[in-house]
Amino acid sequence: MLSPAPTQAPPVSFENTRVAFASKSDAQLRKVYALFAAMNNGSLVKTGSGLMKAALKWNLPGTQFLIKHSIFEQFCGGETIAECRPVTAELGKYNIGTILDYSVEGEGSDRSYDRTRDEILATIDEAHRSAHIPFSVFKVTGVANVAILEKIQAGQLLTTTEEAAHARAVARVEALCARAHQHGVRLFVDAEESWFQHTIDLLAYDMMAKYNQEKAIVWNTYQLYRHDRLEALKAAHQAATEAGYYFGVKLVRGAYMEKEARVARQRGQQNPINPTKQATDDLYDEALRYCVQHIDRISTCAGTHNEASSLFLTQLMQEAHLAPSDPRVWFAQLYGMSDNLSYNLANAGYNTAKYLPYGPVAAVMPYLLRRADENTAIAGQSSREFLLIQKEIRRRQGR
């Protein structure tokens, strides 16, 4: 008996700039072009970053206005959830979901942890009300003390005070997961540094066992630049299968490579990062394959700007006879970047979402400076984003 043909989906081309920048007017595209042209100048980015930080520190008049209407506007949705709504609606016109990402780092006090918990609860409520917000997201360190998380992973005994503080942190995580379950909103638990990631993993699995009985509500994140993460994913999937709950997985390459290498060196430990980028790429794609092979129990989000991996996942879906709109498979990119992926995937019917950071301008500056650094020209070559914008401007000019 012949097996059925793979599910056919519209071909996806990440070179299609007409689709990628369909939401941008000529004036908007020129503004984005000017911003990325500036970010392609490494010395300008370095100087400008220092000037922005100094101007904010000294509260110079007009500084926040200039930042908000340039780099902040490109990479963030606004300072509040309400300010993000027009962006959410605009993305929704192109069948792209929004993931509200509260990008304010905690101050290390119970008051700041409670404030962050309340803000994340508000994003879950917003997702419940909106047809265009498929996920909420949080970092455990936004609601919990890092030192205590690290101490738990190291197997050290907590003091009575620390035990009480950790109990309050677990209660905050529980409140977020309970609200997400109540509203049927998927909730990402972001990955963090390796020296307390296992503590986060165990907490995420506890929440999954409780709230993923009917479907994947709580999703854990795996940074595949770590050489042990695929094995950790497989073990967690096996445990979920044995316990009878659904498994939500967000796959990323990773965000703390230099810090991880530095801390491992300082502590005399093995570097947890893969030795080469190719090893990370191979491990990432292997993780995608594993998740699709176990689609009956695993729901997956490919959080990546890598074009090859994104295309690979579409091929895996076709081979597994999965429709592009299968609710168990998602693609996600950061707002303001990789529109050639997001808009072309969504245009072909794939579930696609943008991480949309928000928060007060001064508070999200660390995030904005990382984005500027990522889009800086390397070894005299223009960034991928800049080249695609150039291509679309030429296309519109008929050249």
Query: Would you call 12 helix, strand, or coil by DSSP?
Result: coil
Residues paired with residue 135 on neighbouring β-strands, in sequence order:
99, 186
Residue 375's pLDDT band (boundaries 50, 70, 90)? low
Alpha helices in 212-351 (DSSP H): 229-243, 257-266, 277-293, 307-319, 339-347
> DSSP label at 108?
S
Q: What is the pTM of this model?
A: 0.93
Lowest pLDDT segment from 30-34, 312-316, 334-338, 364-368: 364-368
Per DSSP, 363 falls in state G
Q: Given the structure tokens 């780099």, which residue do they identify?
A: 71
Please count the residues of the chain: 399
- What the block records as the tokens of 234 is 């497989």
| pLDDT score for 314 | 97
pLDDT score for 64: 81
pLDDT digits (tens, 9 = 90+) for 153-184: 999 999 999 999 999 999 999 999 999 999 99
Burial class (CB in 10 A: 0-12, 13-18, 19+), 227: middle
pLDDT tens per residue, range 305-351: 999 999 999 999 999 999 999 999 999 999 999 999 999 999 999 99
Mean pLDDT of the chain: 92
As given in the structure block, the two tokens for residue 327 are 């609710």
Question: Who's near 105: CB < 8 A, 6+ residues apart?
Answer: 142, 363, 366
- Spell out a b/e string for 354-364, using b for 16 or more CB atoms within 10 Å of the CB, else e: bbbbbbebbeb
Give 215-253 pLDDT, tens digit per residue. 999 999 999 999 999 999 999 999 999 999 999 999 999
Question: What stretches of 93-204 adopt beta strand conformation (E)?
Answer: 96-102, 135-138, 186-189
355 φ/ψ angles, rounded to the nearest 5 degrees: -70, 125
What is the arithmetic mean of pLDDT over 21-43?
A: 89
Spatial CB neighbours of 389, under 8 Å, sequence gap ≥ 6: 21, 29, 32, 33, 36
